[in-house]
A and B are shown apart, each in its own frame.
Chain A
Amino acid sequence: MRTTLVAVACLAAAPFLAACTENTDSNAGGAADTGNPRALSVESTDDGCQVSAAEAPAGTLTFDVTNTGSQVTEFYLLGEDGLRIVSEVENIGPSLNREMTVNAPAGKYFTACKPGMKGEGIRADFTVTAAQDGSEAPTADDQQLVDQATTNYAAYVKDQADQLLAKTQQFVDLYEQGEDDQARTLYPDARTHWERIETVAESFGDLDPKTDLREADLEPGQEWTGWHRIEKDLWPEKARDYTPLTPAERATYGDDLLANITTLHDRVQGLTYTVDQIANGSRGLLEEVATGKVTGEEEFWSGTDLWDFQANVDGARVGYEGVKPIVEQKDPELATELDSRFADLQQLLDAQKSGDGFKNYSQLTPEEIKALSDAVNALSEPLSRLTAAVLS
């Protein structure tokens, strides 16, 4: 009879199976006697709430709630704020026991019995610790990690935009005053802050071409402005028959760049991000390295490509590290791989350091470029899986 019932019910439950959660074996008299740390027992009396343990490892937890009082009771697992209901069982009459199964990620919680089903309930702290065995990694996505990642990333972008604006201001002043040597020193430094948030900057389709267009990418009739126009004027050695810009022209291009960077700075203030945008941005920055920097095309005149290279990698790493707590929960192997690939690439970059900055790109040997390119590719592959892992 029971078998038939269960069979019928399973059929009826089929549409909901995705929403089902594992029941632990509960045919035994009580779940708590099995020694399983994820099986807890709760005794709810009229004025007490005895939970068999105050902590459990993350995963599928089972609370076997027995009402030994005289009133109807309820049992809750509440979030850290004491308000969010993680799970509940209601209507546990006197002498009855009911099980509550919940998939709980690591964190702080409250347990609460509500004899008489009213009021705050009899509460106690409850802690879910990270699973040691790794076999039952929690699947519930932890909103806190997500919130933290997006908040931190927004703060990072704003901070970089602040520094970008300040250094661009200095750079433009020096350039317009004809202090070319100092301007040349500051150029890759100021651009570092641009390159670190390049995917965000590029998302403004009107600003990016005015700011970061290279001469080689100019379309017929398009006016060339921005960083690279000034770059060519500061490093004209490679140019044939180059006519230096007049002070008036310098002022025009300098003021234009500063105005565009100011607009960018203002626009990022109100931006918010989602975790997949952060993960995609991280991958996007590495693609910038692969298509522009490792080829030495970006800074054709100045040869400061390695500064940009490093800045793109910085930005990609910050993005990844922001979502890393989520990746560690969902795909710990990917996190480990990304950590080691980032470290490998950084080691190669460190080898090209010179003083506070980097060697000129023209000083790199073909073998060194090949090694950098390989390291970038080795990082790109796992990084392309980042978004999927974060969203899984």
Chain B
Amino acid sequence: MFANYLIGLREGLEAALVVSILVAYLVKSDRRHLLPRIWAGVALAVAVSLGFGAALTWGPRGLTFEAQEAIGGGLSIVAVAFVTWMIFWMARAARSMSGTLRGQIDAAAEGSRWSLVVVAVLAVGREGLETALFLWAATKAGTRESVGTITPTWEPLLGAALGIATAVALGYLIYRGAISINLTKFFTWTGAFLILVAAGVLAYGIHDLQEARFLPGLNDLAFDVSDTIDINSWYGALLKGVFNFSPATTKLEAAAWLLYAVPVMVLFLLGVRRRQTRPATSSTKTAGTSVPSHS
């Protein structure tokens, strides 16, 4: 039960984080009217994942291993592109939030509305297929007839559902924390945090493509700490869920992580500094609680 709980938590966490930050941003910047688009994107991704997973579980055809990995890996890389876009979009919008340019910014947000949907779809859908297959397998475990030592049990589904619920709850807590801090801090912390998340997603996508042999070097490891950090422990699940940390990382994965995280982080921090030199921030909300989001 606990193991299934951790899988649910791990798979759900990253999507919950990205979505909660996106929602927090829209709420803080008074664009609540855009929220339905986020929820529509999430709902679409969940529906497609579940439907796809059901078809593959019960339908007459399954996906080849290579196709599954190519979809997962390809989606990951596209998701990185969109999350990166989102980070800089939020930062750019924040810079000129002094009020005078309000109308223009809203126009930009309107124009980007489909991008917001795409971010939400990708954040949820990327791990969605894998999670859906897992959930349907758990459902099967509850509905099957007993064969040999295997008896039907709803425990796995319950565990997985609780794990996903925990991920959503954590996402909500981050949202609450993020909503109560001032806007400058919000962008700095969430932006930097999302860059690390995106770097992890990119590395994970590279790993998927290596498994399907679209990319070489699957067995060329940069480091292997799987004896120290167990992916099935609660902290392993958190590390994997938040940063896509893999205890056995290939050299290509590590290189992709660095090549993405370092330059993007530098660009981002340079942008932050430039913003801070101007007294542009109009948000007067004071920091009530500190930010837990980078844990």
Contacts and interface: CB of A to CB of B under 8 A. Distances in A.
A12 B3 contact: no
Contact of B231 (A5, A97, A102, A118): A118
B51 interface: yes
Contacts of A19: 63-64, 66-67, 70
A92 B70 CA distance: 20
Interface size bracket, A side: 35 or more
Interface string B1-23: 10110110001000000000000
A10 B55 contact: yes
A88 B65 contact: yes
A91 interface: yes
B155 A95 contact: yes
B7 to A, nearest CB: 6
A12 B211 contact: no
A86 B65 CA distance: 8
Contacts of B147: 29-30, 33
A351 interface: no
A20 interface: yes
Nearest to A102: B65
A87 interface: yes
B207 to A, nearest CB: 11
B218 A93 contact: no
Nearest to B237: A72
Given A95-B141, A97-B150, A102-B65, A9 B54 contact: yes
B159 A6 contact: no
Given A13-B56, A96-B137, A99-B62, 6 more contacts: A6-B55, A29-B146, A66-B150, A71-B3, A83-B219, A85-B212
B61 interface: yes
Interface of A: 2, 5-6, 8-10, 12-13, 16-17, 19-23, 26-27, 29-30, 33, 66, 68, 70-72, 83-88, 90-103, 116-119
Contact of B59 (A10, A16, A71, A93): A10
Given A17-B61, A20-B64, A91 B54 contact: no
Contacts of B150: 66, 68, 95, 97
Contacts of A6: 51, 54-55, 58-59
A4 to B, nearest CB: 9
Given A27-B58, A96-B4, A98-B133, A12 B67 contact: no
Contacts, number: 147
Nearest to B225: A118
Contact of A94 (B3, B50, B67, B219): B3
B66 A119 contact: no
Interface string B24-68: 000000000000000000000001101111111011111111110
Given A9-B55, A20-B63, A23-B61, A96 B48 contact: no
Contacts of B219: 83
Given A85-B211, A88-B211, A116-B232, A94 B1 contact: yes
A8 B44 CA distance: 12
B52 A68 contact: no
Interface size bracket, B side: 35 or more
B205 interface: no
Contact of A70 (B3, B63, B230): B3
A301 B146 CA distance: 86
Contacts of A103: 64
A93 B159 CA distance: 10
B213 interface: yes
A96 B219 CA distance: 28
Given A9-B51, A68-B150, A119-B226, A94 B71 contact: no
B218 A72 contact: no
B290 interface: no
Contact of B61 (A2, A21, A116, A119): A21
Given A8-B51, A13-B55, A23-B60, A93 B133 contact: no
Contacts of B54: 2, 5-6, 9
